[in-house]
Amino acid sequence: MTTATAERLPIRTDSDVVKVRQLVRTLAQEARLSLVDQTKLVTAASELARNTLVYGGGGDAEVVLMTEGVRKGVRAVFSDEGPGIPDLDLALTDGWTSGGGLGLGLSGSRRLVQHFAIDTAAGAGTRVEIATWTR
């Protein structure tokens, strides 16, 4: 049985990206993730929050501290109503970018977390969900 408390933050400016990072960091500490797992999760959240801002034209992040028995975890969901990603396979390739970035945001953040799911289509916005649990 999973219990959860969620917090939702808007992503409209650079400073919102920082706030999302800080919230994810706080909950990751509360969940007692290892320092490396915390760092990976916060880094992934930073990449995805920036994607939401830059490519999605803004959106929001919902961050949840989850408890399942003795395990705890943190889930973050990034949603926007932007143009969506027409070719997802391509977008998940290292080094591919539609903007001026390094092309590591999606592919790289997928490697940093235990759970990664993405839901997108051209013209239909993008929703990316990541989660990491205590080991």
Partner 1 sequence: MTDGVPILRIGSTLLVSIQIDLQDDTALRLQEDLAERITSSGARGVIIDISGLEIVDSFIGRMLASVAGISHVLDATTVVVGMRPAVAITMVELGLSLGDVRTALDVERALALLTPVEQSPEDVLLAAAEREER
Separation CA 50–CA 60 (nearest Å): 11
Least distance in Å: CB of 84 to partner 1? 21
Q: Which of 5, 22, 93, 114 binds partner 1 (CB under 8 A)?
A: 22
Cβ 16 vs Cβ 10: under 8 Å: yes
Tokens 């930073």, residue? Answer: 46
Q: Does 126 bind partner 1 (CB under 8 A)?
A: no
Closest CA to 21 of 55, 48, 1: 48
Of all helices (H) and strands (E), which one includes residue 66? strand 59-68
76 closest CA partner among 66, 91, 89, 86? 66
- Residue from 79, 109, 126, 132 touching partner 1 (CB under 8 A): that is 109
Minimal distance, residue 75 CB to partner 1, in Å: 18
Residue 33 in contact with partner 1, rule: CB under 8 A = no
From 19-27, 61-69, 74-82, 124-132, give the range in contact with partner 1 by CB under 8 A: 19-27
Backbone angles phi, psi at 23, to 5 degrees: -65, -45
Give the residue carrying structure tokens 């992040």.
Answer: 61
Tell me whether residue 48 or residue 65 sits nearer to partner 1 (CB atom).
Answer: 48
CB-nearer residue toward partner 1: 71 or 111: 111
Question: Residue 75, interface with partner 1 (CB under 8 A)?
Answer: no
Q: Is 135 in the site for partner 1 (CB under 8 A)?
A: no
* Sole binder of partner 1 in the list 38, 52, 120, 132 (CB under 8 A): 38
